[in-house]
Amino acid sequence: MGNPSSVSFWTQANALLRKNLTFQKRNVKSNIRLILFPLIICVLLVLVQIIIDIELRKSEFKCGCVCANNKTRCEDSEKVCGPQYSDQIQVPTCPISNPAEWPPLLQLPAVSCKQNRSSCHFTTLFTADNHSFGHTVSKNMFPSTLVMNDSNIMDSLAPNVLGSESMTTDNNFNEPGFTLALPIYSLQTRCPRNNSGFSFAMAGTTGQQEIRCARGINLWRNSSSEINNELYKGYRRHNRKGRINEIVSAFDFLNSNEDGFNVTVWYNSTYKSNITFVPNALLRIPRSINLVSNAYLQFLKGPGTKMIFEFVKEMPKPETPIRLEIASLLGALFFTWVVLQLFPVILTSLVYEKQQKLRIMMRMHGLGDGPYWIISYGYFLALSTIYMLCFVIFGSVLGFKFFTLNDYSIQFVFYFIYTNLQISLAFLLASFFSNVKTATVTAYIGVFGTGLLAGFLFQFLVQDPSFSRGWIICMELYPGFALYRGLYEFAQSASSIGNYGTDGMRWKDLSGGANGMKEVLIIMVVEWIVVLFVAYYIDQVLSTGSGKNPLFFLRGFQKKPLPSLKKPSIKRQGSKVFAQMEKPDVIREREKVEQLLLEPTINHAIVCDNLKKFYPGRDGNLGKFAVRELFLGVPRGECFGMLGPNGAGKSSFISMMIGLTKPTSGAAYVQGLDIRNHMDGIYTSMGVCPQHDLLWESLTGREHLLFYGRLKNLTGSVLTQAVEESLKSLNLYHGRIADKQAGKYSGGMKRRLSVAISLIGDPSVVYMDEPSTGLDPASRRCLWKVIKHAKRDRAIILTTHSMEEAEALSDRLGIFVNGTMQCLGNPKELKGRYGGTYVFTMTTSSDHEKDVENMVQQLTPNANKIYHLSGTQKFELPKEDVKIASVFRAVEVAKRNFTVFAWGLADTTLEDVFIKVAREAEGFDTLS
Ligand SMILES: *[C@@H]1O[C@H](CO)[C@@H](O)[C@H](O)[C@H]1NC(C)=O
Ligand SMILES: *[C@@H]1O[C@H](CO)[C@@H](O)[C@H](O)[C@H]1NC(C)=O
Ligand SMILES: *[C@@H]1O[C@H](CO)[C@@H](O)[C@H](O)[C@H]1NC(C)=O
Ligand SMILES: *[C@@H]1O[C@H](CO)[C@@H](O)[C@H](O)[C@H]1NC(C)=O
Ligand SMILES: *[C@@H]1O[C@H](CO)[C@@H](O)[C@H](O)[C@H]1NC(C)=O
């Protein structure tokens, strides 16, 4: 056996890694389910995409067509198509080689002139530094009559001021003013009395177009702030007559004069298309600029001069079918779910090890925090990486632009950082959960809630340019939103409606202000580091088993005493030791311990020096000493049995010894190492068989032993041999039990496996907490054999409720009541000391109870009745008073006098000793 503390980092890491891999192999099904999740989502999106594509192929979403020759039904070949036959949705899809020319229109407020056609009027406001200048110029704006020439409509419309109240779309292939059934207004200084309108047919439109006269009125205002005020009031408010202010536009000529033209134009930009997915409607501004420029030109050069604005015309374009990339539209939400899906998996796995106390179990068998963190972290990272890789590959193979267009290196960096953040977060949150079910449910609610919240709230805030960027960044501090933002940016970059074009995201795009990816990456990296640190810190402080001081990291600055095996720096604490009343064996043990502390020998593996554990009172209850004062020295080769009623403090004692809790005062040394600060060193030479089996349900017995064997630095053939021997000796070898998953074991098999685990790798100190509970007699015998064999070169501390077991296994026994050792010694001694009596039992009918009592009184006046129930009575007879033969004789006599159903005489058992000691101690305790 080498130096126990020499178990290297890599040995531990290797053991854990192999265990995790086996574990993973066992979980193949759930792994496949996990990997299938992104595939299912991707396939789902493909299906939705196909449905959408089918829908978009319908005629509603294609360039509009009509039958030639005015027929109502016709073949496709007879159809003529084009923007003139299309509605607003269809127009953008048409191939347009020669776009139509449209007369420029003014945007008019949507005020009806329907009630009274003749009084229809539209107002323009103006102001200027030079009042007369303003008046002269504005007079030139509207013509007095409508000038039309039927032979050349287009040319003759140009000098007139035409306007429409129709909404605009995002293109000018079709001017809705001419294609919708709304009238065109001609703004004039006066209207003829018979305002019947003027009808004509525009080239490129199907129907007759009506032009109605409306009065264009120029009103002077004293200042631009007055105009502003009026426009403000007019905005969505009604004037006194109940009508909306009908202000077309307003001009401030400022300091313009003959030498210079300086004008401010107000226009209304609230006109939008009612088609929701056309966000950027065109504005009809050019004509109002032309209007005022023309008026100024006429002021300078006279009424003959005109600045004609004849038409507006879009650029030609090829056919562009409507395409909705669903992965880019909904991808952010669905892919957020895909990526977040990993979180519950990691969290659950971490909480499982905590709930089953496996983490503590591993620590007690020497697994340090460093290897645990690095291997677990690396393991989850590998899992996440494979998962994300599958996800991106599925998506790319299925042809989502979301994946194929964006730079793969950006995607890699993004997902890599996020998965790291996610793992750290899982580690952090795992500290706060102790139940797998709660953790799972909470995590899944979190996943779906985050997705929904991000998709239906966060996204709108991101898209809303008026929402403060600072707040967006604040929200992105929540990792789920940061993830969503990143995926949203990928989707935007890959979507055809996106702001960055359709060539996908490149590294250079990250420097642009509009792209949120840079911030997201920075936030995630910073958070990753912070969360990882906090998680490690909290794990160290909170976790039972290490329970470090919250300021443990400061300890590095103090001088650290080096653990030394041979001469531990043990100092007696100046504590008052109460004289134990009449317990010479306990006092002797204390003297032995004191002697041992002065002259430490390697032989005594366990030395407890006045160990105390006090649980402070809570909620008004008084505090309680679980362990009062405990002196104990257990040499190698001894099995020390600890008996005691429930709640006597045995578990508290074991907890302290295996490092789950800290002693309130006093100290204990295992192999010369102090349990208060060298627990890590102690773990490597310690084995524990806890009261409850701490096993991985999906690992087999053999795998458990291999794992713990590796943790104890066994390798190669030594390891295999140790595992085989251990399995054989504990009867786990036959019937392929060793290769069954521990979850399917019976209680007894689990127990035997736990014992095997505690003994593997030759630990020099072993604690066994009720090792034989739940075992059938045969298994128990076999277990005892193993323990007897094992105690040869070990110190074993054993707690049990079975007196038989205690007697069979222990070299020495201690009866532990109310936190103190009541007596110590080997079983025979104890029986001799406490059991100076025989127990006499006799069962008669209840009428003869008195006779039995008399008979016993005759045998000895010092008899003591200890039990009485409907005819059955038990007496203690002091050994020095009675002879067995006289008891027999008395019974013979009694049998003749009355009917005796049954009788018996027994020597004291350990059980009697135990009950006696426990009762005495408890009686004493209640008195004091
Ligand atoms: C105001 O404008 C008129 C021309 O409309 C010009 O004759 C006059 O000098 C201007 N007055 C000032 C103070 O500039
Ligand atoms: C109408 O336009 C045609 C051709 O441009 C021209 O010949 C004719 O004189 C115009 N008529 C009027 C009334 O201006
Ligand atoms: C505009 O100014 C003129 C003269 O400076 C004044 O008579 C008139 O009342 C003012 N109009 C308004 C609406 O304030
Ligand atoms: C601007 O247009 C909107 C939409 O038609 C209208 O409600 C609003 O009253 C207009 N504002 C003014 C000042 O006319
Ligand atoms: C236009 O007028 C404004 C306000 O009087 C003045 O600040 C600006 O300099 C002028 N611009 C030109 C080009 O004269």
In a domain, 523, yes or no: yes
Site to substitute for ligand 5 among 130, 251, 257, 262, most atoms within 8 A of C-beta: 262
Q: Which of 402-411, 601-610, 849-858, 879-888 has the highest mean pLDDT?
A: 402-411
Instruction: Tell me, yes or no, whether 416 and 383 share the same domain.
Output: yes
Note whether 194 and 220 are same-domain residues.
Answer: yes
The band of 135, judged by pLDDT with boundaries at 50, 70 and 90, is: very high
The one-character DSSP state at 770 is: S
Rounded to whole angstroms, the Cα distance separating 110 from 98 reads 31
Question: Does residue 607 sit within a domain?
Answer: no
What pLDDT sits at residue 5? 46
Q: Please tell me the number of the ligand nearest to residue 299's CA.
A: 1
Instruction: Classify strands 820-825 and 795-799 as parallel, antiparallel or unpaired.
Output: unpaired
Going from the Cα of 221 to the center of ligand 5, the distance in angstroms, rounded, reads 19
Q: Among residues 313, 341, 373, which one ends one of the domains?
A: 313
Statement to judge: residues 206 and 122 lie in one domain? yes
- The pLDDT tens digits for 752-806 are 888 888 888 888 889 988 888 778 888 888 888 888 888 888 889 988 888 888 8
Instruction: Please indicate, yes or no, if residue 574 is contained in any of the structural domains.
Output: no
Ligand 4 pocket by Cβ (under 6 Å): 109-110, 231, 234-236, 244-245, 247, 268, 270-271
Is residue 854 scored above 60 in pLDDT?
A: yes
Name every residue whose Cβ is closer than 8 Å to that of residue 92 and which is 6 or more positions away in sequence.
Answer: 170, 171, 173, 320, 322
Report the separation in Å between the CA atom of 262 and the middle of ligand 1, taken as the mean of its atom positions: 15
Name the residue of 149, 152, 310 to mutate for ligand 2: max ligand atoms within 8 A of Cβ. 149
Asked if residue 333 belongs to a domain, the reply is yes
pLDDT at residue 92 greater than cutoff 80 = no
Pocket of ligand 1 (CB under 6 A): 130, 132-133, 136, 257
pLDDT tops 80 at residue 895: yes
The type of residue at 479 is P
C-alpha 129 to ligand 5 mean position (Å): 11
- Which strand (E) or helix (H) includes residue 201? strand 198-201
pLDDT of residue 275: 57
Query: How much is the pLDDT for 581?
Result: 52
What per-residue confidence (pLDDT) applies to 479?
92
pTM of the model as a whole: 0.67
The first and second tokens of residue 465, run together, are 């340019």
Residues 265 and 125 in one domain: yes
Which ligand 1 atom lies nearest to the CA of residue 131?
1
Considering the domain architecture, whether residues 354 and 487 belong to the same structural domain is answered as yes
Q: Percentages helix, strand, coil for the chain, rounded to the nearest 5?
A: 50, 15, 35
Domain of 891: which CATH number?
3.30.70.1150
**What CA–CA distance (Å, rounded) separates 850 from 898?**
11
Distance (Å, rounded) from C-alpha 461 to C-alpha 472? Answer: 7
Contact call for residues 730 and 783 (beta carbons, < 8 A): yes
Q: Which residues form the domain of 375?
A: 6-44+327-543
Residue 21 has pLDDT above 60, yes or no: yes
- pLDDT over 70, % of the chain: 88
Contacts for 47 with CB less than 8 Å, ≥ 6 apart: none
Same-domain status, 284 and 338: no
In a domain, 729, yes or no: no
Task: Please tell me the residue having the least CA distance from ligand 4 atom 3.
Answer: 270
**154/236 same-domain check:** yes
DSSP string, 749-781: HHHHHHHHHHHTT--SEEEEESTTTT--HHHHH
Inform me whether the pLDDT recorded for 367 exceeds 70.
yes
Q: Which residue has the higher pLDDT, 454 or 554?
A: 454
Kindly state the DSSP code that residue 876 receives in the 8-state scheme: E
Over residues 259-318, the pLDDT tens digits come to 999 999 999 887 766 555 556 778 899 999 999 999 999 999 988 888 889 889 888 888
Mean pLDDT taken over the chain: 81
Q: Answer whether 262 contacts ligand 5 (Cβ < 6 A).
A: yes
Same domain? 276 vs 370? no
Please name which ligand lies nearest the alpha carbon of 219.
3
Q: 312 alpha carbon to ligand 5 midpoint, in Å?
A: 30
Among 111, 230, 244, which residue has the most ligand 4 atoms within 8 Å of its CB, making it the best to mutate?
A: 244
Distance CA 352, CA 346 (A): 10
Indicate the pLDDT class of residue 377, thresholds 50, 70 and 90: very high
Same domain (yes/no): 364, 436: yes
Asked if residue 746 has its Cβ within 6 Å of ligand 5, the reply is no
| Cβ proximity of 423 and 346 under 8 Å | yes
Which pLDDT tens digit goes with each residue over 473-490? 899 999 999 999 999 988
For the chain, the domain total comes to 3
Q: Give percent of the chain with pLDDT exceeding 90.
A: 17
Domain termination residue (choose one: 520, 543, 566)? 543
Q: Which ligand number lies closest to the CA of residue 258?
A: 1
CA–CA separation, 552 vs 652, rounded Å? 24
Residues near ligand 2 (Cβ within 6 A): 149, 151-152
Domain annotation covers residue 589:
no
- Same structural domain for residues 407 and 469? yes
List, for residues 330-350, the tens digit of each pLDDT value: 888 889 999 999 999 999 989
Q: Residue 254: CB within 6 Å of ligand 5?
A: yes
Q: Which residue has the higher pLDDT, 635 or 542?
A: 635
Among protein residues, the one whose CA lies closest to atom 10 of ligand 1: 130
Q: Which atom of ligand 2 is nearest to the CA of 150?
A: 1
Q: Is residue 39 domain-shared with residue 166, that is, in the same domain?
A: no
Q: What pLDDT sits at residue 444?
A: 94
pLDDT digits (tens, 9 = 90+) for 184-242: 888 888 887 766 667 777 766 666 778 888 888 899 999 999 999 888 876 544 555 55
Residue range 574-598: average pLDDT? 68
Q: Can you say whether residue 819 is alpha, beta or left, with left for phi > 0 and alpha for psi between -120 and 50 degrees?
A: left
> Ligand 3 centroid vs 133 CA: distance in angstroms?
17
Q: Whose CA is nearest to atom 3 of ligand 1?
A: 133
Choosing from 254, 259, 263 the residue with most ligand 5 atoms within 8 A of its CB, the one to mutate for a pocket test is 254
Tens of pLDDT, residues 505-535: 888 888 776 778 888 999 999 999 999 999 9
Q: Which of 508, 543, 578 is the last residue of a domain?
A: 543
Residue 882 in any domain: the answer is yes
What is the distance in A from the centroid of ligand 5 to the CA of 130? 14
- Cα of 906 vs centre of ligand 4, distance in Å, is 109
**Taking Cα atoms as reference points, which of 7, 9, 15 lies closest to residue 379?**
15
Question: Is 264 in contact with 252 (CB distance < 8 Å)?
Answer: yes
894 located within any domain: yes
Question: Which amino acid type is present at position 334?
Answer: F
* Same domain as 150, residue 16: no
Ligand 4: residue of 270, 273, 274, 283 to mutate (most ligand atoms within 8 A of CB) is 270
Nearest CA to 798 out of 514, 614, 606 is that of: 606
